[in-house]
Amino acid sequence: LPASIKEPLFAAYNNCNLDKVKAALADPDVITMVQCAPAVRVGIAEDFGAELGTVAAGKLAAALHKIGFDRVYDTNFTADLTIMEEGTELIKRITEGAGKLPMFTSCCPAWVTFLERNYPDQKDHLSTCKSPQQMGAIFKTYGAKLDNYDPAKIFTVSVMPCTCKEFECNREEMNSSGYQDIDVAITTRELAYLIKDMDIDFNALADEDFDQPLGEYTGAGTIFGVTGGVMEAAIRTGYELITGKPIPDIDVSAVRGSNAFRTATLKVGDLDLKVGIVTGLANVIPVMEDLKAGKLDLHFIEVMTCPVGCVSGGGQPKLLLDSEKEAAYESRTKGIYTHDAELPIRKSHENPAITKIYEEYLLSPNGKESHHMLHTHYGTGENSFQK
Ligand code: SF4
């Protein structure tokens, strides 16, 4: 369809959440805070005519400021926070027996719900960490304290490559801040529509930074956008926390790729760390059956629902042809790794804003406050759409 037809149709379909965002932005009594997932910055420029996979982090931050959000924070920061929590949890499960192995990642709400509904007896294998989006609970707590804001007046928006994230932020347990932690999730496409609707010339924007400190991020937070990225980010930090030495090669190529299920054994001090990466829910079924049969000899498994992780999520700019999809997934993946390589800090535990939040607020990974704010317990997956 030509854009003149497609965009109004799209807007009509999505107007509910965008109307909520616009109403919050227009209300002088409401403080608006926004966060953006890693994959959004390698997708959004496509909706403004850029080449597939163009990295547009600076223009994205500038557009969000121009739209009028009071604080422009970043899911890449909470991805770094996820690594601190999830990495510590994994180390405790391995070294102290503090939980079941293998431990599965819990960043992808479609995967979490799939496990809850189809393999409820195995849910103790899930990391108790919330996803990076939901670790945005710190915006209405620590973020409110930083600016002396009344948390009751804060409206939090997340921009996601994902059509499942709205489901996740409406889960009834996602209220550790004392309020619904994330009020609304919109997709990359919806943000592009909002930018156009507000007559913002995206391509003419000069690059800006995300706001500090909750918009400061590392390459490790960035690679959450691709399959294997959560695993690689966890290894970069886990290796150094366990051995006390710099990781020999920061590019953990053993966990990169796009095969449906791939495994690797990595030497971490005295430990042979056995990891697995799954893309696509159909591909996780044999893995779960092996787990049930006691045939799965791994410590840590990353599962993502979309073909090559979040860069290929359903909320990213629309691609009509299969050939176009393949090129886009490849280009966006390349964009993520390029952005990672260009960032000055590439390990989550070296993010100074992460050090600061633990010093000032959370105190220690997996500590009491972290458990309250950043971890959860899983149930049936049926508890959504409560509002
Ligand atoms: Fe959403 Fe897909 Fe990413 Fe899962 S892999 S969080 S379904 S975009």
Note the pLDDT tens digit of each residue in 105-162: 999 999 999 999 999 999 999 999 999 999 999 999 999 999 999 999 999 999 999 9
The pLDDT tens digits of the residues spanning 296-322 come to 999 999 999 999 999 999 999 988 788
pTM as predicted = 0.93
Catalytic residue list contains 107: yes
- Coil, strand or helix at 142: helix
Does residue 385 sit within a domain? no
Q: Are 159 and 193 in contact, with CB atoms under 8 Å apart?
A: no
241: domain CATH number is 3.40.50.1780
Residue closest to 32 by CA, chosen among 120, 139, 155? 155
| Residue tagged active-site, from 51, 172, 173, 342 | 173
pLDDT (0 to 100) of residue 384: 40
* Token representation of residue 53: 């996979």
Q: How far is CA 117 from the centre of its chain?
A: 22
Enclosing domain of residue 61 = 3-374
Q: How many domains does the chain have?
A: 1
Q: Is the CB of 309 under 6 A from ligand 1?
A: yes
| Catalytic residue list contains 310 | yes
How far is CA 26 from each of CA 19, 200, 207, rounded to the nearest angstrom? 10, 16, 25
Look at 47-51, 78-82, 95-99, 236-240 and tell me which has the smallest mean pLDDT: 95-99
Q: Is residue 276 part of a domain?
A: yes
**Residue 383, domain member (yes or no):** no
| pLDDT confidence tier of residue 385, bands split at 50, 70 and 90 | very low
The single-letter code of the amino acid at 331 is S
Q: Tell me the H-state helices in the chain.
A: 3-26, 57-67, 75-96, 109-118, 142-147, 165-169, 188-197, 219-222, 229-243, 281-292, 322-342, 352-357, 368-374
Instruction: Check if the interface score ipTM surpasses 0.90.
Output: yes
* pLDDT over 70 (residue 378): yes
Look at residue 195 and tell me whether its pLDDT is greater than 60. yes
Tokens 């719900």, located at residue: 113
> Is the residue at 315 inside a domain?
yes
Q: Is 379 among the domain residues?
A: no
Structure tokens at 387: 């509002």
> Considering the domain boundaries, does residue 381 fall inside one?
no
Strand partners, 309: 307
Instruction: Tokens 């966006």: give the residue.
Output: 332
If you measure from the C-alpha of residue 277 to the centroid of ligand 1, how many angstroms do you get, rounded to a whole number?
14
Tell me if 131 is assigned to some domain. yes
Confidence band, pLDDT 50/70/90 cuts, at residue 329: very high
12-17 own/partner pairs: CB under 8 Å, 24+ apart = 14/186, 14/187, 14/189, 14/190, 14/193, 17/166, 17/184, 17/185, 17/186, 17/190
Residue 86 among the catalytic residues = yes
CA atoms of 84 and 49, how far apart (whole Å): 37
Residues 229/350, Cβ–Cβ less than 8 Å: no
Q: How much is the pLDDT for 320?
A: 76
245 vs 265: CA distance, rounded Å: 19
**Position 233 pLDDT exceeds 80:** yes
Our CA dihedral for 216, 363, 93, 230, rounded to 10 degrees, sits at -10
The closest-lying atom of ligand 1 relative to the alpha carbon of residue 309 is: 5
**How is residue 278 annotated by DSSP?**
E
One DSSP character per residue, 167-236 reads: HHHTSTT--TTSS-S--EEEEHHHHHHHHHHTT--GGGPPP-PPPTTTT---HHHHGGGSTTHHHHHHHH
- The answer to whether residue 384 is domain-embedded is no
**Ligand 1 atom at minimal distance to the Cα of residue 163:** 1
Residue 230 has pLDDT above 70, yes or no: yes
User: Any idea which residue has 């799954």 for tokens?
Assistant: 278
**For atom 1 of ligand 1, which residue has the closest CA?**
162
Q: Give buried/exposed letters for 195-225 (b at 16+ CB in 10 A, else e).
A: bbeeebebeebeebebbebbbbbbbbbbbbb
Mean pLDDT of the chain: 93
